[in-house]
């Protein structure tokens, strides 16, 4: 009888641990975003982005990212807006640290005050690490390459 109680206790303890490490159904993040155009002496923009992901299983999810960036200099303002979506691949070996990679496609809009605006195709490839601080809060450094192809002037 004593062995049965010990075995039942171990099973309940193992179930509690596995329940704590379940994959979240969805993830939402809001972050500061830095965007740089050009290789040397490029345009540096500061902004913000909102990202959401629907995790379909432990390693695969669908992510979307919406961002806005701005640069003002000498009375001229340059704005960039990006809307992307696509697959995200996560490696969930540890419940506190989750590296991920993603490939997103979508659209972009750029506007220069007084000169008009242009719309175009945008794509992004990159990844980061999701570092859990609490059950509902995490730090998520991320680095992406974003390409944009604008039409018009």
pLDDT in tens, 19-47: 445 788 889 999 999 998 877 778 899 99
| Local confidence band at 15 (pLDDT 50, 70, 90 cut-offs) | very low
Q: What's the confidence (pLDDT) of residue 7? A: 47
Tell me the domain boundaries of the chain: 25-150
User: Among residues 143, 149, 111, which one has the least CA distance to residue 125?
Assistant: 143
112 CB burial (10 A radius; 0-12, 13-18, 19+): middle
Distance CA 65, CA 54 (A): 12
For the whole model, what pTM was predicted?
Answer: 0.78
Domain 25-150 has CATH 2.40.50.140: no
Which comes out higher in pLDDT, residue 40 or 90?
A: 90
User: Among residues 49, 36, 39, 46, which one has the least CA distance to residue 102?
Assistant: 49
């Amino acid at each position: 009888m004593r062995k049965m109680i010990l075995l039942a206790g171990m099973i309940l303890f193992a179930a509690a641990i596995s329940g704590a490490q379940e994959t979240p159904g969805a993830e939402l993040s809001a972050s500061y975003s830095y965007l740089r155009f050009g290789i040397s002496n490029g345009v540096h923009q500061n902004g913000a982005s909102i990202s959401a992901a629907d995790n379909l299983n432990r390693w695969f999810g669908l992510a979307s990212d919406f961002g806005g960036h701005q640069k003002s200099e000498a009375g001229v303002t340059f704005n960039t807006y990006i809307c992307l979506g696509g697959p995200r691949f996560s490696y969930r070996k540890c419940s506190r640290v989750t590296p991920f990679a993603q490939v997103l496609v979508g659209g972009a809009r750029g506007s220069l005050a007084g000169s008009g605006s242009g719309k175009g195709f945008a794509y992004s490839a990159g990844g980061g690490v999701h570092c859990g601080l609490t059950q509902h809060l995490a730090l998520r450094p991320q680095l992406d390459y974003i390409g944009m192809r604008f039409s018009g002037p």
